[in-house]
Amino acid sequence: MAAEEEKVIGYLLYHFGYDSDGAFSNLHVVDLYVDSKARKKGVGRALMTAAAGIAREAGSQEIIWSVYRANNLATEFYERLGAQRITEVFFMKLPADAL
């Protein structure tokens, strides 16, 4: 979490994972959010930097996450950090009561 004067202004939610094709562990960013009033001040970058540090400490090689195609603001933000798009993977879903 990111806080300013004891008020939460942003968070990054993650869990660890594993890339079975590459045989290495990774860190999945589940959600990243910075309060609209606190944006463009480096908070998002700081949260991603903290996640990268946690990944390195745990021996993970990579951070991965998903972005809605329509979310151009987030995509630009991530590309500014140096992130690259993965094009060979897509999401699938199934209603929990389907099986």
Summarize as ranges the residues that interact with ligand COA (CB under 6 A): 32-34, 39-45, 67, 71, 73-74, 76-77, 80
Q: Based on CB atoms, which residue is closest to ligand COA, 54 or 74?
A: 74
In the bound complex, what is the minimum distance in angstroms from residue 43's beta carbon to ligand COA?
4
Q: Based on CB atoms, which residue is closest to ligand COA, 33 or 64?
A: 33
Tokens of residue 99, six digits: 């099986």
In the bound complex, what is the minimum distance in angstroms from residue 78's beta carbon to ligand COA?
8
Residue 13 phi, psi (nearest 5)? -105, 135
The sign one gets for the Cα dihedral 97, 27, 50, 59 is positive
Q: Based on CB atoms, which residue is closest to ligand COA, 33 or 54?
A: 33
Choose among 94, 34, 95, 21: nearest CA to 64.
Answer: 21
In angstroms, what is the C-alpha Rg of the chain?
15
